[in-house]
A and B are shown apart, each in its own frame.
Chain A
Amino acid sequence: MLINYALGILFLPLLSFIILILVGKRLPRQGDWVAIGSVLITLILSLAMFGSMLLSHDPGFSHEASIEWMDLGAFRIELGFLIDNITIVMLLVVALISTMTHVFSIKYMAGDIRYSRYYAYLGLFTFSMNGIVLANNLFSLYIFWELVGVSSYLLIGHWFEKDSAADAGKKAFLTNRVGDIGFFIGVMLIFTALGTFNYGEIFQGVAQGDMAGTLLTLAGIGLFMGAIGKSSQFPLHIWLPDAMEGPTPVSALMHAATMVAAGVFLTVRLFPIFTPEALLFIAYVGGFTAIFAATIAITQNDIKKVLAYSTVSQLGYMILAVGTGAYIAGFFHLVTHAMFKACLFYGSGSVIHAMHHALHNKHDHDTDPQDMRNMGGFKSKMPVTYWTMVVAALAISGVPLFSGFLSKDAILAGTLAFGTHHPQHFLLPIFGFGAALITAFYMFRLIFMTFHNEPKLPELYDDINESPKEMTFPLVLLSTLSVFIFYTLPYFNPLSDHGWFMELVKAKDSMVPGNPSAHEIAEGIHHSHTLTMILSTLVAALGIFLSWSVYLKKRISADAWAEKLTPYYNLSLNKYFFDENYDKYLYQPLLRLADRISFIDWELYDKYFINGFGHVTKWLSFLTGRTDYDGLDQTIVDGLGRSMSKAGSTLKEVQTGRLQNYMLFALFGVVIIVIFQSF
């Protein structure tokens, strides 16, 4: 039965995609009801699966089903589902965020020229992500992995008339390619060593020691490179902020549930095969990304860019958790983060929507509706958006009573435990706590700049209105889901993450010898839990307080500090000049190399070899043509035709058309026969 549900969840969005892409424009309301209906059924099915998971209350539940796709002798490929508690929780998150995105988009995208195609692509996106979540082997995973890449490309470039949107789509796709090459190498290394794509069989093979040491480390790092690309970790983080060119609901979907979650989900799924070295690499990449992206987010003025870098930073957290072994904490953060980050994005979408309308009424097309320096004082105008965003900001900052506190706490505890266990890696907890401090700071910077203070553009202020119900409903629902209680039921303790989630989603032991067991990791987390809780609450409070004094009370002047720290400020504002440096040291040399190679190709190879070959062929065929045409055709072929034609015109004379002639011939014939007969 679960398999049937899973089939429905996987294929309904695909069905909606096919219907909308074929006949979407001819349906009433451009067919948005098809997409919304299908994703709603998906949500109901996910809820049913979720309910059955809660009822059966079996942490070890796992169900696998597969069909053989092709059997090439040594190379057997299966397509299949692996349904365990991680899958079920993730399916619910994807379905929920996707449904909210569909609902939010009704008003946000109203009047868009490609409204129906937009909904079609949302369906494709949901389908691909569900495929990643459900896959039971690396091969199916890879297919859906690329499908996610394609659909993100289509959605980021939705407004492809704008060059920046088209470029952002390309950038996302190409940057992901870099990671995917690593991913592909990882998959192939595992297949060559173990001869299978299936997760279970891979785990077994690794546990038996069929693949170990450097090879396994390399495979792990290769697979993780896929996650670096998809989950936009340092140094491939550059595409995610540009992806803000897509419609805001798409950003919410992409940042919360579908695209970037894929990388984290992959590392969570494959955690048991990572060697200690690979895990250390993962932890450092994640930790560094967490703090690095946070320092960029501080200085950004575009409301969506702040959120984009905050996503990069939070994804770094999750990756850090996987690297330190507390991977269930990472997955927990993925789930809670999905709710409050989607809420923040819808909130920013609501603000941008309001700004856009106000600017439109004033016929002002030059002012940037996403720049926070043009906002301020929206609190009383948009109360629903304000309060839901405050809840989400509290959750992401890790304030007690909210979901983010629980998951962030679990990650930081894991990091701290790792740091105490291996004092030489003291940087990891510093990255973690530092990022937590900065996160709280810039999130409240966003809230204060947008909703508090005096309006920066008073002439717009009267035109700012709260968004319609279709847009505020997802905000309210998701901010409600950012409260701790939904993750700790049936227990009611805001300071402990003990609840259904931690009971049902259990960490697996690593299959690699030398890694601590799940139990040891849990022990370590337990020991550092209290210290982490105090520290993280302090850090969050400090961040919010700093932000409050800088941006609300103005006791500390942000400009003065920016002045004092000009070099650092410029670095952060310009995102550490990553795009520029990539351009200078990577793209330009590559382009020059491509130029050289194309010179060899065009000027040498093509000119002498290809064209020479062409000349010889041309000359040969000229000879053959002459022989054929003048020799054979003229004599044999035409001669035969001519003789036939001659014979025909001679014999034609016999056919006089006179009945009596024929009859006379017949008579002669009879006479001749009679004469012959009589002898």
Chain B
Amino acid sequence: MNLKRLSSGILAATILIGMSFALPAESKKWTTDERQIQLMQEINSGQKSGDLTLVEANSLRKDLSHVARKKAKMKFKLPPNSKLTADQEAEIEKDLNKISSDIHKTKLEKRVK
């Protein structure tokens, strides 16, 4: 009886430990603000390493700025302190994905040349 309890206890503990490891491994939900900051850092590091020229880096920053303005306009139309709708979030995410892809594409194109 005790053995049965012990083994089920061990099993439960194993599952819990397994879950605690598994949870951080799940993809972290980045907010669009965090992604904007992350993309800016990627542009900065690309400029420093020489993978992006000044013109390319500034052009990518301008794209990020357009997204920031678009988001600000969306927020302005909402009541104070309310969040963007799922559709609006998705639209911003799509724009940020495009910039992310442009950063990597521009860097890689230079390496291929």
Specify whether A and B are partners. Answer: no
A contact set with B: CB distance below 8 Å: none
- Which B residues are within 8 Å of any A CB, using their own CB? none
